[in-house]
Amino acid sequence: MLEKALTGSRRYWGWIFFLLAVIGVGFIFYLRQFAYGLGITGMSRDVSWGLYIGQFTFLVGVAASAVMLVIPYYLHDFKKFGKIVILGEFLAVSAVTMCMLFIFVDMGQPIRIMNVVLHPTPNSIMFWDAMVLNGYLFLNIVIGWTTLGADRKGVAPPSWVKPLIYLSIPWAVSIHTVTAFLYAGLPGRPFWLSAIMAARFLASAFAAGPALLIILALIVRKLTKFDPGKEPIQALGKIVTYAMVANVFFLLLEVFTAFYSQIPGHMHSFEYLYAGLDGHGKLVPLMWTSAVLAVVALILLINPGTRRKESLLVVACAAVFVSLWIDKGFGLIVGGFVPNPFERVTEYWPTMPETMITIAVWAIGLLVLTVLYKVAVSVREAQLESGTDSTH
């Protein structure tokens, strides 16, 4: 099937080469980081994780969100997701690929990465995260590729895929739960030390992932002959709505606990993020942007009139995505390190090389996504032409 990604319009190849160029530039910066060390980034002794780990955390959520298509289609027989469930699975493949790359570029000694396998350490959450992420990547590649291959031939997928599909559902939950446990079990970081962290991660994941999927489905409709359909997009819109409501609710629960208890350590990170602490407030404008976008998104999503209008739904989805990207891909990580264990404030801001490397990893993800979507869309287009449509 991969050969379908090798034929395409000028626009398709233009996009591919654009992504390759971005990747190339980022790679040159990575070589500099490799030679100089992570000091090339904005991270320091006090804020020892930054943009890379933030992106990793956010993208684990995007990857997990494929389950929001798999559950309705495979467990509730919601047939309308039949044609687009593959878009969710391939998005998961792309997102997990980016997760792994973000971990890799964050390593101080990347050439020693196999030490995680050579000295397996089950008491480290990082070990489990590596295991579940690899497993999830494998599951989605196998499931996506096999079901699409069967679709192409107009036959039902082989029976051995079904157990894998069912397995992928709890597995998706596990990748984001384990990722939340990276943070939620650390004794000296009160901002992260919260039992609701995993639930909050899942809620934000099931909002940001499907929001991105809606945007991608609309792009696919615009650029190709394959139309994901109006109803699946509306159904996804409802999922984004519920998940975003849950996410904002969970965030407000954290705010309540911190500020009603008045425990300084629990309030400090929130104060730093939303108001500034000891005269330091680099992240304040960003965090309020996230908050305002979340409110705008909720107004557009909860109101059925605006949600049903695709032109407004896509605005809401973009708002959800950007809001959560700021909240989880940046604020959550940096906020956990400020103030430091001595209650002093050291600020963090990514450097230019760090930003370029980050953009390049996203470009790799988009490249993987483009190639996989090209294959999926080509199969769907062929089905339209021949009139064989096994999913209906």
Q: Which residues bind another protein (CB under 8 A)?
A: 36-39, 43-46, 48-49, 103, 106-110, 112-113, 115-116, 118-119, 121, 123-127, 130, 182-183, 186-189, 265, 336-337, 340-344, 346
* Spatial CA neighbour of 130 closest among 154, 152, 104, 160: 104
Please name the amino acid found at residue 115: N
Minimum distance, C-beta of residue 299 to another protein, in the bound complex (Å): 36
> What's the token pair of residue 137?
């990547």
Give the Cα-Cα-Cα angle 220, 295, 238 (nearest 5 degrees): 45
- The HSE-up count of residue 84 (CA atoms within 13 Å, CB side) is 28
Length of the chain as a residue count: 392
Min dist CB 195 to another protein, Å, is 17
CB of 266 to another protein, least distance (A): 13
Closer residue to another protein, CB minimum distance, 138 or 349 = 349
| In the chain, alpha helices (H) | 10-36, 51-64, 67-70, 85-106, 115-118, 125-153, 161-184, 197-223, 230-261, 264-274, 284-302, 304-308, 310-326, 332-337, 352-386
* Cβ-based nearer residue to another protein, 273 or 294: 273
Kindly state the smallest distance separating residue 341's Cβ from another protein, in Å: 4
User: In this structure, what DSSP letter does residue 339 have?
Assistant: S
C-beta of 49 vs 90, nearer to another protein: 49
Only one residue has tokens 């990465």, namely: 113
Q: Please, which residue, 146 or 351, has the CB nearer to another protein?
A: 351
* Nearest distance in Å: CB 23, another protein: 23
SS3 392: coil
Residue 271 CA: distances (Å) to CA of 194, 248, 256, 277, 328: 17, 18, 13, 6, 17
Distance CA 369, CA 206 (A): 19
Within the chain, how many helices (H) and strands (E) appear? 15, 0
As measured in angstroms, the least distance from the Cβ of 105 to another protein is 11
Nearer to another protein by C-beta: 127 or 288? 127
Nearer to another protein, 106 or 271 (CB): 106
> Please, what is the minimum distance in Å from the beta carbon of residue 183 to another protein?
8
Q: How far apart are the first and last CA of the chain?
A: 22
For residue 375 the two structure tokens come to 């294959």
Tokens of 326: 């700021």
Would you give the DSSP letter of residue 107?
-
What's the angle, vertex CA 353, arms to CA 322 and CA 44, rounded to 5?
Answer: 85
Give me 255's structure tokens. 């705010």
- Which lies closer to another protein via its Cβ, residue 241 or residue 358? 358
Minimum distance of another protein from residue 251's CB (angstroms): 21
Q: Which two tokens stand for residue 235?
A: 């159904």
Beta carbon of residue 115, minimum distance to another protein (angstroms, whole number):
4
Nearer Cβ to another protein, position 133 or 379?
133
Please give the single-letter amino acid code of residue 207.
A
CB-nearer residue toward another protein: 110 or 170: 110
